[in-house]
Amino acid sequence: MAYQGYLIKLGEQILPHKYIKADSFATTLITQDLDSYRDMEGVLHRTALQHRVNKIEFETPAMLTNAQVNELINIISSNYINSAEKKVLATIYVPEIDDYMTQEMYVPDISFSIYGIFKGVIRYNPIRIAFIAY
């Protein structure tokens, strides 16, 4: 399919590029193993599974306002399919396969660091956001 103009889509909602800091988007397509082991000679015997999972990380640009952070978090949280688990159905562009994968993913807890308050407006340091497939 190749790149279609977006990096992350949550449900049917595309996450705008303005919330992804340039040079910070990273994906890892993880190969899973089942009962792999090393024998007495130290040789690894792998049972690699067909089901691979994604891990996506990015930072927001610095100096987002409180309103922008609220909009970003609303885009994420309004697409939760299970809010207790912070689970979303995400479609992610994966450079390794030059295609998109859709998987159930969870959002690890997000830390917010305030850069400062200017003329009554909160501004934030870059915020790290991740999506990790089940």
pLDDT at 36: 82
Query: Which is nearest to 108 in space by CA: 88, 129, 127, 124?
Result: 129
Give exposure, 112-133, as e/b (b: 16+ Cβ within 10 Å): eeeeeeeeeeebbbbbebebbb
Instruction: Round to whole Å and give the CA distance between 4 and 11.
Output: 16
Do 121 and 63 touch, CB atoms closer than 8 A? no
Kindly indicate the confidence band of residue 114, based on its pLDDT and cuts at 50, 70 and 90: very high
pLDDT at 30: 78
Kindly indicate the confidence band of residue 117, based on its pLDDT and cuts at 50, 70 and 90: very high
- DSSP annotation of 86 reads T
Cβ atoms < 10 Å from Cβ of 63: 14
DSSP code string of 63-85:
TEEHHHHHHHHHHHHTTEEETTT
pLDDT tens digit sequence for 43-87: 888 877 777 889 999 999 999 999 999 999 999 999 999 999 999
Whether pLDDT at 32 is above 90: no
Do 40 and 106 touch, CB atoms closer than 8 A? no
pTM: 0.84
Residue 91: both structure tokens together: 């479609």
